[in-house]
Structure 1
């Protein structure tokens, strides 16, 4: 089973850059698994900036749902990010079916962790639960789902970090 590292933080907290550096210390040719569905120009630009920051030593894979399909024998892998991956399940299943979405996510994660063959998997996610409870029902439902996913991955992790203002703090 792969070593699991969980990295969380708020938007623009430095978590992705920390994760990329962390992975590059473990491998000179890591794998980057992008989970986002790019739906607008602003997000497309964010993706481009991330891609430009990474060099040609990265193997890039785009997989918005089925991580369990990936075979990454003896590779060091960065999954960026659980938040966008969870978003895909949330909208595919619908906001009133978060229990079903969570079961699908857990199943896909379990398959991925057990059969990917990776040496190390680093998961990046957003910590969106620190800002209080939203008055918007859909945002509350999503925060609930992402909180469950983050807890599930963090409990299985060998190491966990929280990035705050560009400073990674080891929490596990």
Structure 2
């Protein structure tokens, strides 16, 4: 089973930087598991910035939904990020919260059944402004429930605040 370090926090809180540093300290050849679907030019630019932040020692694996289909046994893996992964699942399932949550939980369980050192990045959506529309509220609920699920399976949990990691578990 995977050894899981779960890193969550708000936007631009330093989550990815912290996860990347921890993964690089753990391995000379870490794997970056990218879950993003490129929706627009702004997001494309964000992905390019993340890519430029990583050195040549990184191997990138791109997977929008079926993270368990990749054999990452024996590797150090940085999964970035749960929020984008859930967005893909939620969109594919026509914004069905319950169905999306069940699919995400099943996929997570299959994924963490591998022996790996796993650094997982996610977002805390419920700490900001209450979403103004129904779909955004449903997604914030989905994100919160999945974060709780992942945190329960994690060996360590960190909350990033203004670039400072606060150990929760």
- Output the aligned Cα RMSD: 0.9
Helix, strand or coil at the partner of 2:112: helix
1:71–1:117 contact (8 Å) kept in structure 2? no
- The correspondence of residues 58-137 of structure 1 with structure 2, limited to 5 A, is 58-95=58-95, 97-114=96-113, 116-118=114-116, 120-137=117-134
The normalised TM-score by structure 1 is 0.96
Task: Output the CA distance in 1 between the equivalents of 2:23 and 2:151.
Answer: 17
2:8–2:121 contact (8 Å) kept in structure 1? yes
State the shift of 1:131 in Å: 1.4
Helix, strand or coil at the partner of 2:5: strand
The normalised TM-score by structure 2 is 0.97
The alignment status of 1:41 with 2:41, answered yes or no, reads yes
The alignment status of 1:171 with 2:161, answered yes or no, reads no
Deviations along 1:21-48, one digit per CA (max 9) or x if unpaired, are: 0111111110000000012111111111
What are the ranges of 5 or more consecutive residues in structure 1 without an aligned counterpart?
none
1:7–1:125 contact (8 Å) kept in structure 2? yes
The number of residues matched between the two structures is 169
Helix, strand or coil at the partner of 2:4: strand
State the shift of 1:132 in Å: 4.3
2:3–2:115 contact (8 Å) kept in structure 1? no
1:4–1:157 contact (8 Å) kept in structure 2? yes
2:30–2:58 contact (8 Å) kept in structure 1? yes
What are the ranges of 5 or more consecutive residues in structure 2 without an aligned counterpart?
none
The alignment status of 1:147 with 2:130, answered yes or no, reads no
Q: Which runs of 4+ in 1 moved over 3 A?
A: none
